[in-house]
Structure 1
């Protein structure tokens, strides 16, 4: 739909208001002058001239009777038949007689005619004859009123109604009703405001939907973690009650109870730490403390922190990397946490005497790392949901491993916060394969 600028609309409205009365005036004059034929107009002019001559003659011959009411009545009758009005004035311009009242506007007057006798002015006469322009002026005034009415209707249709509808839509949105429909407008500025209004409504809808999803996810995380915390807490309380009540009487049994309590406390610590990190990354949008770091050192620190768990299961963790420069900008603490989560996942799901291969290499402007284990790998169902918060697959990937289902989610979101990506899959020779990349220093602007 073609639109008009409001300035153009205003100029067109002003032009219409000025031109329509003139069109009506010209049309009325044209119709009036062409209603009768040329011969009929000439005959009317001659008849009017004859009536004017007769009227003047009647007035001149009765100058001594101007004050006589009978003569005035006779003159009034003559003037009505001739469709003429007159005003009689004495020598000092004092009005003696007038034949009409209140309709001068529709008549045209002649110059005062002096009535003389022997060179002395006896009085003056002003004749009022029908004015042919009166009808044209009335038509012009009617055209002006019609122009104002039409322009007012168009202003209401294309300006006032859309603005009023936008005001109503704003109140609807404030009341929580997102289903708003704005009428189209032929005015460019109002159409642009309407388009911007629609974009705003769509943005608000998406924001509201995202907020609702975050709120739902927050409730789900709280409920799930609270459920997960109950299991080690109940076990820990049960074993502590056993120790307190003297059930563990032998040193061996007491040592077993203490070992179980330590194991459950470690699970609790892992759950709380995962929950804190997830909340910090997902909801608090913590600022990254970036600095130049070497990804090889981050990988080595993460490997060293997981070495005790790996030794307990006799798992070999091998780091292979090229001689490239792996310098990048990032938060070393968060990146180490992300890599540690990935390695912890690999250690927990790799059987005893297994192997974990960690690789690191550079590809153009990316620093790429891979973590491969010799465990059972991911099922097809798990591959589609492994990054969902609190999701844990079946089989070995369940609560028995002690995880809260947040480790991979946290790692992925930390990597994404650094401008990279994390992908999970299965190696062709078996086992899970996690690969990720982060932009190198060379790819950063400036």
Structure 2
């Protein structure tokens, strides 16, 4: 049940329950009053009337009974016909302690004993709701007994009317019912709110204390369930954000270290050769020319690194201007492979297996060629020492074009595959060959940025026997013919 429904339900019960309790308590209390006052069935009134009427008759006959015999008194007692008038009133005739006559189920009681002890010619005795009237008739004694007597009925009615105000009682009942209902419903509603709040507070404290793996488990079906789900999602995103920030900090440190290393190496060479020229180490024109050519070469290396850093930074912040167009990817690969084969010559054999002619993609052809060049340069640097080969394959698979650049070098460790596209990552030592110009760890990082910009993917795998495979996928455009 949702909290909103709980509140509506509790408010309805706040109205209904006090009314029901008031009706119930009022009914019970009124019944108690009626029973106490002797109104129910008029039992007390009926027995009292019969009792006092008979008392009056007994008083008028008491003088005659002083001289009457037993049979006359019995006859006159029977004429009262008490059983027909009230079952609560009975009469008896005694001589000493011997019962001579009784009518109406007369039984002795403490009042009978009391009257015998008093031994008066006439007496009226009451205990609780019983009454006894006795009169002496010569040697006999007559007892009139009422077992359902109300000796002060009128006074009690006056007391009730004076001390009990029905309006006050009803107000008291309402107040009691409201307090009772409020207590029960408040506990019911607040417990359903406080418990989830405590769970949320505990979760917040866990996150505050650095436990980013903590997740709230809440089995309720109310509004708090959605809040707890949002809390867990927030905790997940926060954990990913902090992990990404830690990774960014680590990458930044690696970036600074990589830049320092890549700039320091050519700068050291430039400084060394420049000092050699100044100090006259290069004494001949030929040697001086070699020193200057080396300085120029190292300067070109510096310029290349700076250009790549600038390109990567522009790609990273999304400010690099792309000129995307639709073109035949098969023809683009044919053109690149032909040029690469001529450029690398005997240093690396380039082979193309192309099945994507008249397959079109939307990308920047210049920047895509930059990716192909980076991958080819990577194969040249880290390929086999002898008979270095680069295989370029392309084919269509479902809704995308797959392009593979595979060298025949030593490959990389499985742990390094996912790190190859990080900036300044150079892989293991097996991928660095003596006598070849080492890379600066920017080529694959730049290639990944460019491919992702074209809604493609790029990943690295080791070949089935040896070498490294760089696999690119690009979305293919269907329904386009002849460009």
Fold-level similarity (TM above 0.5): yes
1:9 to 6, 11, 19: 6
Output the CA distance in 2 between the equivalents of 1:222 and 1:344: 24
Output the CA distance in 2 between the equivalents of 1:133 and 1:213: 77
> In the alignment, what sits opposite 1:329?
362
> In the alignment, what sits opposite 1:295?
329
Work out whether residues 38 and 153 of structure 2, in 8 Å CA contact, stay in contact via their aligned partners in 1: no
- Secondary structure of 2:440's match? coil
Output the CA distance in 1 between the equivalents of 2:387 and 2:36: 128
Work out whether residues 338 and 414 of structure 1, in 8 Å CA contact, stay in contact via their aligned partners in 2: yes
- After superposition, the C-alpha distances for 1:305-329 in whole angstroms (9 at most, x for unaligned) are 7567514x54343444237313101
Instruction: Give 1:343 deviation, angstroms.
Output: 0.5
Which region of structure 1 is more displaced relative to structure 2, 209-218 or 268-277?
268-277
Instruction: Give 1:330 deviation, angstroms.
Output: 1.5
> In the alignment, what sits opposite 2:78?
none
Residue 235 (1) aligns with residue 309 (2):
no
Which of the two has higher C-alpha Rg?
2
> In the alignment, what sits opposite 1:19?
16
Residue 216 (1) aligns with residue 290 (2):
no
CA RMSD of aligned residues (A): 4.3
Instruction: Give 1:144 deviation, angstroms.
Output: 0.9
Work out whether residues 83 and 129 of structure 1, in 8 Å CA contact, stay in contact via their aligned partners in 2: no
Output the CA distance in 2 between the equivalents of 1:150 and 1:286: 68
Work out whether residues 392 and 398 of structure 1, in 8 Å CA contact, stay in contact via their aligned partners in 2: no
Output the CA distance in 2 between the equivalents of 1:24 and 1:441: 77
Work out whether residues 377 and 430 of structure 1, in 8 Å CA contact, stay in contact via their aligned partners in 2: yes
Output the CA distance in 2 between the equivalents of 1:274 and 1:420: 21
Instruction: Give 1:237 deviation, angstroms.
Output: 1.3
- Secondary structure of 1:436's match? strand
> In the alignment, what sits opposite 1:402?
438
| Uncovered stretches (5+) of structure 1, i.e. residues with no partner | 50-77, 86-106, 109-127
Work out whether residues 451 and 458 of structure 2, in 8 Å CA contact, stay in contact via their aligned partners in 1: yes
Work out whether residues 270 and 295 of structure 2, in 8 Å CA contact, stay in contact via their aligned partners in 1: yes
TM-score by length of 2: 0.63
- After superposition, the C-alpha distances for 1:228-247 in whole angstroms (9 at most, x for unaligned) are 22112111211122123221
Instruction: Give 1:340 deviation, angstroms.
Output: 1.0
> In the alignment, what sits opposite 1:31?
28
> In the alignment, what sits opposite 2:282?
248
- Secondary structure of 2:16's match? helix
- Secondary structure of 2:429's match? coil
Output the CA distance in 2 between the equivalents of 1:35 and 1:434: 97
- Secondary structure of 2:281's match? coil
Output the CA distance in 2 between the equivalents of 1:266 and 1:281: 22
Residue 339 (1) aligns with residue 413 (2):
no
Output the CA distance in 2 between the equivalents of 1:186 and 1:347: 62
Residue 440 (1) aligns with residue 473 (2):
no
Output the CA distance in 2 between the equivalents of 1:437 and 1:82: 104
Instruction: Give 1:407 deviation, angstroms.
Output: 2.1
> In the alignment, what sits opposite 1:99?
none
- Secondary structure of 1:84's match? helix
- Secondary structure of 1:370's match? strand
For 1:46-125, list aligned pairs within 5 A: 82=156, 84=158
Instruction: Give 1:139 deviation, angstroms.
Output: 2.3
Q: Aligned in 2, Cα 1:197/1:8: closer, same or farther, shift over 3 Å?
A: same
- Secondary structure of 1:395's match? helix
Output the CA distance in 2 between the equivalents of 1:204 and 1:288: 33
Which region of structure 1 is more displaced relative to structure 2, 259-268 or 382-391?
382-391
Work out whether residues 318 and 358 of structure 1, in 8 Å CA contact, stay in contact via their aligned partners in 2: yes
Output the CA distance in 1 between the equivalents of 2:293 and 2:175: 105
1:371 to 405, 422, 425: 405
Output the CA distance in 1 between the equivalents of 2:304 and 2:479: 35
- After superposition, the C-alpha distances for 1:65-108 in whole angstroms (9 at most, x for unaligned) are xxxxxxxxxxxxx99964737xxxxxxxxxxxxxxxxxxxxx76
Work out whether residues 321 and 359 of structure 1, in 8 Å CA contact, stay in contact via their aligned partners in 2: yes
The number of equivalent residue pairs is 374
Output the CA distance in 2 between the equivalents of 1:348 and 1:382: 17
- Secondary structure of 1:434's match? strand
